[in-house]
Structure 1
Amino acid sequence: MDRGLLFVVTMVMGCLAPGVSGNGHLTFANNTKVNITRTGCGLKKLCVETPEQCDPTGKTSCLFASIVTTAPSPPNGVDLLVELRGDSSGYIALGLTANETEGTSMVFICAQNSSVSFFFRSAQRNNLNNTISLTQRIVKNITSSVNGTVIQCEFNVPAVNATTRTSHITFVTFLAVGNVTNGMGIGDINIRLTSKLLNLAQPNSNVATTTAPTTAGSSALTSQAVLVLLSVLTYHLS
C-alpha cells in the first residue's frame, strides 16, 4: 500500500527516553513529494551510500545521504542541509562524530510507524557501547515521504561544529537503520556504513582519486630502443 504521506516539520526536539511515546512537539503540514537523487554528488553535495554508488531513485535497496553546508562561521560552525533515504520498517539514521572510537555522535533519525507514518528524532550515540539516547537539538524544515518501507527525508541542522581537536566541519559519518519500539521509541542502532574523516564542505572529499600512470618504464624502453638504433647505424657506417 502506498503511504506517500508528506510532511513539513519545524521543531525543537523534546528530550524523550527510549521507548516513551510522545510527539516531541512536532508540527506537521502537507508538502510536495521528496525526490532524493545522486544529482550533484561530488560536485555540489557530499554523498555517502551503501551499497557503493547505489541509486536512491531505483527499486533496489539503497541507504543514502547527502550533505550541503553553508560557509563556515566560527565559532558557530555551519548549517547542514541533509538528504536521507533508506529502506526500513522502523528508522534510518545519519550520524556525525569527530572520533568513531571515543566520545559521542550526533544522530539524526527519520522513522515511521503504523499510527503517524513519519516522525523525526535527534539523538546521541555513545561511541564506546553503541547505546542511543534521545537529545534536545534544533532541527528545521523537515520534509518527509514514506512509501512502504522506503523512507525519504530532508532537514536543516543549524550551527554544527566538530570538537576543538578537529576543524569545525570535519566528521566521520555513518549510516544506520533500526527498529521503532512502543510507538515512537528508538530501538538499537545498526550501523551499515562508516566513512573516513570527511570535510563536509568539500563535496568530493570522499571521491577516490586516481594517480596518473607512471612513465618510468616507457622511458627506459625508449632509451634502449635509441641505443639499439645507434648501434645498427654505427655498424653500417663503419
Structure 2
Amino acid sequence: MDRGLLFVVSMVMGCLAPGVSGNGHLSFANNTEVHITRTGCGLIKLCVETPEQCDPTGETGCLFASIVTTAPSSPNGVDLLVELVGDSSGYIALGLTANETEGTSMVFICAQNRNGSFFFRSAQRNNLNNTISLTQRIVKNITGSVNGTVIQCKFRVPAVNAPTRTSHVTTFATFLAVGNVTNGMGIGDINIRLTNKPLNLADPTSNVATAGSSALTSQAVIVLLSVLMYRLS
C-alpha cells in the first residue's frame, strides 16, 4: 500500500468515541486530498514559515503554517482554521502562547507512526522548561496526509481567546516545531525551529507590517532625496 495515506476526522478531543482514545489519538482513514500552498498569504491568511518565504508545495525542509480566524464572538473568542506542513519522520507542530518565556503554550501536533499512518494530538508546553504533555483540547475537522517524510494537515480550533490584557483576543506569540514519535504513537521532546513575536492572528499582514513600513520609509527617503537634488541643481 502506498505510504501516502490520507485521513479525515471530525471530533471533539475531550469526548471518547470509536477510534478516539482518552488521550485524543485519532486513526480514521478517508480518501481526502490535503494540498497546502502559499496562496492567500498576507491577504486572507496569516502565514509563518521557516526558512523565510519557503514554498510548502515541494521545497524540501519547508516548515509552514497558515491561520485564518473567524470574526470574534464574545465571550467565545474565535475559531482558528489552521494549515500545517513540514518534513519529519515523527511530528510537526504549531504552538500558540501569550508569552513564550513564561506560562504554557497550546500545541497542535500532526504526526506519523512507524507505519507511516497519520495521527493528531493536542498538547501543552511548559514555556519555562520546554516539557510537553498531552491535553484533550477540542479540535475539529482534522484532515491529514503522510507522504514519506512530508506531513500535511488542516484543522479547526474553536473558541480561542488569548489570555492577555490586550485589545485583541487573537494576539499570540507563535512557534513552529518538530519532534520524534516514540513507542509507536508517543510524543517525544519538542524542538522549536521558529518563534515569532506576538501577532494578531486576525490580521494576515501582522507579521509583514514591519517589512512593509521599512519599504515605505525607504521609498519616502528616495523621493525626498530626489526632490532635494532637483532643487540644488
Deviation at 1:116, TM superposition (A): 6.5
Aligned counterpart, 2:227: 219
Match of 1:194 in 2: 195
User: What is the alpha-carbon distance in structure 2 between the residues aligned to residue 91 and residue 22 of structure 1?
Assistant: 20
Cα shift at 1:165? 2.0
Tell me the C-alpha RMSD between the 2 structures: 2.0
Partner of 1:205 in structure 2? 206
Q: Judging changes above 3 Å, is the alpha-carbon distance between structure 1 residues 40 and 66 closer, same or farther for their aligned structure 2 residues?
A: same
Preserved contact between residue 2 and residue 148 of structure 1 (Cα < 8 Å)? no
Indicate whether 1:10 and 2:18 are aligned: no
Match of 1:153 in 2: 153
For residues 14 and 71 of structure 2, what CA distance do their matches in structure 1 show?
A: 29
Pairwise mapping of residues 1-238 of structure 1 onto structure 2 (< 5 A)?
A: 2-13=2-13, 24=24, 26=26, 28-115=28-115, 117-166=117-166, 167-207=168-208, 208-209=211-212, 210-211=215-216, 212-214=219-221, 215-225=223-233
Larger radius of gyration: 1
* Helix, strand or coil at the partner of 1:217: helix
- The aligned amino acid for 1:141 is N
Structure 2: distance between partners of 1:194 and 1:2 = 34
More strand as a share of residues? 1
Unaligned ranges ≥5, structure 2: 16-20
Question: CA–CA distance in 2 between the matches of 1:4 and 1:116?
Answer: 8
Q: Is the 8 A contact 1:14 1:25 kept in 2?
A: no
Deviation per residue, 1:136-169 (Å, 9 max, x gap): 1110011011000000000000001101323200
Normalising by structure 2, what TM-score? 0.88
Contact 1:31 1:143 in 2 (8 A): no
How far apart, in 1, do the equivalents of 2:149 and 2:25 lie?
25
- Offset, 1:22: 7.3
Describe the shift of the 1:123–1:25 C-alpha distance in structure 2 as closer, same or farther (beyond 3 A).
closer
SS in structure 1 of the partner of residue 7 of structure 2:
strand
Give the distance between the partners of 1:22 and 1:150, measured in 2 at CA.
Answer: 27
> Which residue identity lines up with residue 223 of structure 1 in the other structure?
R
Bigger shift: residues 169-178 or 31-40? 31-40
> Sequence identity of aligned pairs in percent?
82
Measure the CA separation in 1 of the matches of 2:25 and 2:146: 20
User: What secondary structure, in the 3-state scheme, does the structure 1 residue paired with 2:102 have?
Assistant: coil
Which amino acid in 2 is paired with 1:81?
Answer: L
Paired letter, 2:220: P
Displacement of 1:111 after TM fit? 0.5
| Whole-angstrom CA distance in 2 between matches of 1:30 and 1:151 | 16
1:61: Cα distance to partner? 1.6
CA contact (8 A) 2:81 2:157 kept: yes
Distance 1:38 1:80 in 2: 17
State the alpha-carbon separation in 2 of the partners of residues 98 and 147 from structure 1.
33
- Find the counterpart in structure 2 of residue 231 from structure 1: none
Question: Where do 4+ consecutive residues of structure 1 move more than 4 Å?
Answer: none
CA contact (8 A) 2:23 2:134 kept: no
Q: Secondary structure, in 3 states, of the residue corresponding to 1:55?
A: coil
CA 1:116–1:62: 2 relative to 1, 3 Å: closer
Q: Name the counterpart of 1:230.
A: none
The answer as to whether partners of 1:126 and 1:132 remain within 8 angstroms in 2 is yes
3-state DSSP of counterpart to 1:102 = coil
